[in-house]
Structure 1
Amino acid sequence: MRKYEALYVLAPNLTEEEIKANVEKFKNVVVNGGGEVENIDEWGKRKLAYEINHVNEGYYVLMNFSANSELPMELDRVLRISDSVIRHLVVNLQK
């Protein structure tokens, strides 16, 4: 199992319940795929460095997890098709 880090930015107009549901949804993608979530750090609403689709801020979430090499591709696919995600990045932490 390799260590990965996923950072995603959710739309700022989501309610608190919708944010929690999205965080749980992406966590379940990792757990159901055979991975192990080590840490989820919700940074909260922050100003974006640049405007994306006429939006100036977003809700940042950082998730550290361990998984096999196929799981990050599945997580990336799920993040890409989610309407509530503005931007995302999944990174392998091992060299």
Structure 2
Amino acid sequence: MTHIHQYELMVIVNPEIDERTVPATLDKFLAVITNDGGSIENVDVWGRRRLAYEIQKKTEGIYAVVNFTSTSDTAQELDRQLKLNEQIMRTKVLRAEEAIAMVAAEAKRSEEKAARKAAAPARAAKA
């Protein structure tokens, strides 16, 4: 019995292509999911963003997030095919539970950092 999971795919596409063609470019790959009985819940093109570091000598990329449901084998095949395409600079496939856990952990770190920052002036005043 194969298990169906929810996934989140983050893709960074070469910024030299027309942003309006990104959904069509992704659709070609997403057919792997639908052909295997999976489903695409959402394709969200965030648009052109500055990269944290250069990838393939580029400082910008077009970000897109895809939420889909499929088997793990299908998700791996999608990731493999995306990595073979020259227009795709980076991919990251996460199970939805992992993505939610990562966001929650990041939010907790941010709250703790803000709390430490707020407490710092009070400690300095006592010294």
Does the TM-score normalized on the shorter chain lie above 0.5? yes
Of structures 1 and 2, the one with the larger relative CO (CA 8 A, separation 6+) is 1
1:92 is aligned to 2:121: no
1:46-74 CA-partner distances (Å, limit 9, x unpaired): 00010112100011010001111211110
Which structure has greater strand proportion? 1
1:44 is aligned to 2:51: no
CA contact (8 A) 1:2 1:94 kept: no
TM-score of the superposed pair, with normalisation by structure 1? 0.90
Gaps of 5+ in 2: 99-127
Gaps of 5+ in 1: none
Q: Which residue of structure 2 aligns with residue 60 of structure 1?
A: 63
Q: Percent identity?
A: 37
1:14 is aligned to 2:11: no
Q: Tell me which structure has the larger Cα radius of gyration.
A: 2
TM-score of the superposed pair, with normalisation by structure 2? 0.69
Q: Which residue of structure 2 aligns with residue 5 of structure 1?
A: 8
- Following TM superposition, the consecutive aligned residue runs of length 4 or more in structure 1 with deviations greater than 6 angstroms are none
Structure 1 residues 13 and 64: alpha-carbon distance in aligned structure 2, compared to 1, 3 A threshold: same
SS state at 1:2 partner: strand
Query: CA separation in 2, counterparts of 1:87 and 1:57?
Result: 12
Q: How many Å apart are 1:17 and its aligned residue?
A: 5.5
Query: CA separation in 2, counterparts of 1:34 and 1:40?
Result: 18
Matched residues, number: 95
